[in-house]
Structure 1
Amino acid sequence: MQLSAGKSWSLRRTADKNGLFKMASLDQIPPIVGPMAAFHGASEAPFDDVVTFKRLLIEQFQGYSSAMLLDPQFAVPGCIDALDASKGLFISLEDPSYDLVANNERRSKSAESWSVGKIKRMGANAVKMLAWYRPDASAETNQHQQNYVMQVGDACAKYDIPFFLELLAYPLDSDSTLKADDVNRKERLRDTVLQSVEEFAKSKYQVDVFMLESPIEGSDAPGVGHQGEEHIQPVFEEMARLANRPWAMLSTGATMAEFNKIMSHAYAAGSCGYLAGRTYWLDTLAHYPDWSAMQADIHQNVSYYIQELNDITDKMATPWSSHSCYSAPLEADRAFCSRYADM
């Protein structure tokens, strides 16, 4: 598998100098807008407050990050000037909402008036798209999700920009009888994650990097070198085998301690890094609208954990460029100008 010139260069921009992904997820909207709106007793949060919080996150996290994931609704128009130009930039494509159909099935869509072409035009290094997916959803919903991912993959190939696909499971109405400690619930999470990766690893989707949730709940991850590892590690190894390309782990709401344990399993299986967001900043919103307290909370309580995660990443992660799927080098000859396609 050979990377195009544009995708290869942009992937280098999103990783650190050693080819590791240390990415900050700052594109979330509902988890920020919801608490702020509730504080004001309003249906919407003040636009300027959302921008101020995202700017605070950028300023606090970018020193630890190789790349920043921003949204086009608030962070890009309100905070892009705060972003260190030496950092990689990737922009979310999907609408934070989604269409709901029977059985609580979710169908993803792009943000209104937003596109892969616009993300490329503004100079971003990669496109991030979230696909909600349940292999056991209806054939119609799964076909919709598959078609949407294929369309995004085609557009990313056209504009020669890396495609980062975020896959997330979600509850269906039919899951309502499963309790939190139900063995069937844990097995369903594992199977959903693995089957979703298997589907979207097919070449027709043209995914360059996977961003994956843990197939194991954070509370069940003992960490590499601890008792119970032999039951957990094979699941991460299977996920890596199915992905068959560079992949990063999502924090997906795990506690900071849990996420570090999850990452040790992921790195032992060949993960290239992480995308962390709410795990590190969600509790900070409890101090809203005391901006000084919010800044202090991040600086005093969060920075240590990010540095700890980066230390684990430096020691254990696999550089994206060393993945076997990208073993073919870029063709170097005098025909490059004619061979390299225009948009």
Structure 2
Amino acid sequence: MMYRAPGRINIIGEHTDYNDGFVLPFAINKYIDLEIEKSDKYLFHSKNSNQEISLNTLKKTDTWADYIIGVILEIEKKVGKISPFNFRFSSDLPIGAGLSSSAALEVVTAYAINDILKLNFSLEKIALIGWNAENNFVGLNCGIMDQFASALSKENHALFIDAYTKKHELIPLNLKEYNFYIINSGVKHELGNSEYNIRRNQCEKALKIIGKESFREVTNDDLSKLDGIYYKRTKHIIEENERVLKTIDALKNDNIEAIGNYLFESHYSLKNLYEVSCEEIDFIVKKLENKVAGARIVGGGFGGSVLVLSKEDEFKNVINNLKYEYNKKYSIELEYFEVKSSNGVEKYEI
């Protein structure tokens, strides 16, 4: 028996999930697949890299296996000690591209263990196990979006998540003649994780200055109490939450062109206010302006991918020249693919 969990793209709502905000992701048709069986020790094997990690007891490895180890430890907090497994992973989901391969690893692991041991965890609980693993064991203070999207998504729908209440709603995803594309920049700057946690701390400091418990209580009037980076971070969060709600409204009214404008707005807010973009990503987005409906950086930032909303012919007209110019400037061969929506985590037979 095999299990798979999808990566995700987030249409809009970046760096809002850990700030009690709104996000609008959907699962994509790129997956991490897992074959699992009981074993006398813990084995973690990646078919893509042909790397295997073997442990007699669970401990930090400072490798990709930590995402799985963290999940096992979270499950053991709930049900007690469980026997070791042999995990064999394969994937067509690009690692480090901002498509949440880590959450897919966590969710597929929790889902498979839940199924094999008949633990009867809900999909929401499976998502939260993955989220706790990443926060408590891996040490990245992420929000709930990635794990919820990988666990709870449905094909042909986006998943509107309120990170404050953890309520979620499926929104029909009818793009008419438009498609979403991912362009992988081929870069992932090392400062990504540390800067991500710095952004979280800056947001918490901004709340203290304002005297509010949550960003859900923050309004535009509060911006006058802030300056410098605290003003910029808070302004991004307020306006990005508004863009999520406007995007949902545009989807419900078949106004796909408006969504493209919100994507460009989001990118420049992430670049100038939240300061998580980078030169290579900005180069791509700049070249796409006035040629596609919309584009923005996706994921944690400092590299990764650009999400593009475009008609197929318009995208084909621009992508080859963009690949040429990007390679000429950065000596990197751009990779891109169209993304289709997908169901969340599931079991299947080979």
* TM-score (norm. length: structure 1): 0.23
Point out the structure with the larger helix share.
1
Relative contact order, CA 8 A, sep 6+: which one is greater?
Answer: 2
Point out the structure with the larger strand share.
2
* TM-score (norm. length: structure 2): 0.23
